[in-house]
Structure 1
Amino acid sequence: MGPFADESDNAIDVARRVLGSDAFAAVEAQGSRLRPEHNEVQRLALGTLTIDTPQDKPITSRWDELTPAERQVAILATAGWTNPAIAVRRGKSARTIDSQMAAILQKLGITSREDIIDHIPKDIIEQVRTETIRRPQRNTRKPQPH
């Protein structure tokens, strides 16, 4: 059950970053009011039931200052990809990705990759969700002593 719990925790973290803490708490409260006996969870997952979500707060962004390559790296970083995994995915060196990450943080005026989510336009946020699913699993096994 450990890997399942880890992935659930990761999904919750991404959802909280995508929605913001206040919106996540509001949607989580709405979800807790769903009635499983009426198949509301399944209907919501299938798209046959909708619930109202809080209005998104307007965000001032410097997203347009990023190059297309930096935008792709930013999306992957927001989805939880490590820099080495991004390098492999994009066919670039780890040093290139490190440089692009530094440029992204500088251009967006932030100090943490977790803050990138606040700058991703709503019309492409689905790409973050898709890349979160595609993200390679981190090796959580500890090396065996010799």
Structure 2
Amino acid sequence: MSDVVRLVDVRDEPLDITEVYDAVADDGAGAVVLFVGAVRDHDGGKEVDGIGYSAHSRVLPSLTEIATQVVEGTPVRGLAVVHRLGDLDIGELAVVAAVSAPHRPEAFEVCRVLIERLKAEVPIWKHQVFDDGTDEWVGTP
């Protein structure tokens, strides 16, 4: 990991917002953007009972590569991202990301790009279970 990309992980235990925030702390940063994704109780007009996340064995190298790419050529001082695996209940945290930078526009933009690329490219799959007994997989190849 680089001096800028300070924490990248996937875990099957609850996520800690403070750990991610602390990982990007930097005296040269005037802005820290923190993104927290939680399991919501609905999707596509249906009530969600819970979700499960699973991942390919290359999940960490993939997430690390994206984290490294999104900070290239930017003034970002620190980046951290942790994603949850396993079965999650409504309200539990699925992903926590933080980016520190000298100014807020760069911190916001890099954090936004990180999350968008994570959702589009990292091999993590979501299994949603709905209250009507149906289910769906999201993000599968």
Q: Which has the higher contact order (CA 8 A, sep 6+)?
A: 2
